[in-house]
Amino acid sequence: MLRGLYTAAAGMVTQQRRHDTAVQNIANLNTTGYKQVDSVSHAFPEVLISAMSGGIVKPVGKMNTGVFAEQSVSQYLQGDLIESGKPADFALSTDLQVADPATGGNINFDGSGKYITPQGEVIYRPQAFFTVQDNDGNNLYTRNGSFRVGPTGEVLSAGGFKVLDSNGKPLILTGPQDNLKVDGQGNLLDPVTGRPSGTKIGISVVTRPQELVRDGNGVFHADDVKNAEIRFANGTDNLQVRQRYLENSNVDATKMTVDMNAAYRAYEANQKVVQYYDSSLQKAVNEVGRV
């Protein structure tokens, strides 16, 4: 009996986390550069049930011992680009490809940016991010290109982090913000000649985005930069910098609403099971025990 109680309780915890994840996504529906989070649930290991009769053990079957929310996975799909009209606003439009080692052609990723090889290996589509730096000198990555210029000319992100150039140095402007012009590759243009000035916005390509860790404030970090295979973008990468645009969140509001309601109903069902077991235990203690 207690095993069923624990199983139902585990289901309640899992559905609560699933509900919280959906609520978080809906709350960030209009957050610039926000990436949707999906809650991944897995079953606890199955237990083999056996029956003993006359000293002989006979297998009966397998029993599942519940479910748990294993992790939250970020979806890095491209959000809609919205024109803001501000010269310090930027968005990234990307379509980065990976060569299939079996055929030599480009991998055809599914709608979630994922590809599963015949051997079962999961490959994710590489993603590009603006590179920023915190006060401790750690590199962070964001798709929120709502920048501003500080008093000393330093370009700062919406969270107050320093925006880096393609050499990993803080990006500093020498002229008025209104004269800021950037081409499709992220090169800052001379306001007079219109030619590249030699400074480029630092755009990082993360080959394995599943290794990124969400920090909040729209930024991510990598515990192991080498394992995440992070590098600065080059001319061969299929990406474009859009000035005076911002990337909207990629949250699917309809799906999140359905997930939120489904999690609530599943939580309610598990709650009823817990109440049933509680009632049964109460009878066992107060009535059967008295007999």
Q: Give 137-175 pLDDT, tens digit per residue.
A: 999 999 999 999 888 889 999 999 999 999 999 999 877
d(CA 108, CA 98): 9
Region 249-276: what's the mean pLDDT? Answer: 91
- Token output for 198: 């030699």
More confident residue, 33 or 284: 33
Q: Which amino acid is at 150?
A: G
pLDDT value for 51? 75
pLDDT at site 54: 67
Residues paired with 24 in a beta bridge:
none
More confident residue, 172 or 288: 172
Which pLDDT score, from 0 to 100, does residue 289 have? 55
What is the separation of C-alpha 13 from the centre of its chain, rounded to a whole number of angstroms? 21
Burial class (CB within 10 angstroms; exposed 0-12, middle 13-18, buried 19+) of 167: exposed
User: pLDDT, tens digit, for every residue of 28-53?
Assistant: 999 999 999 988 877 766 666 777 77
pTM assigned to the model: 0.82
pLDDT band at 88 (very low <50, low <70, confident <90, very high): very high
Q: Give me the torsion for CA of 112, 252, 217, 232, rounded to 10°.
A: 30
pLDDT value, residue 274: 84
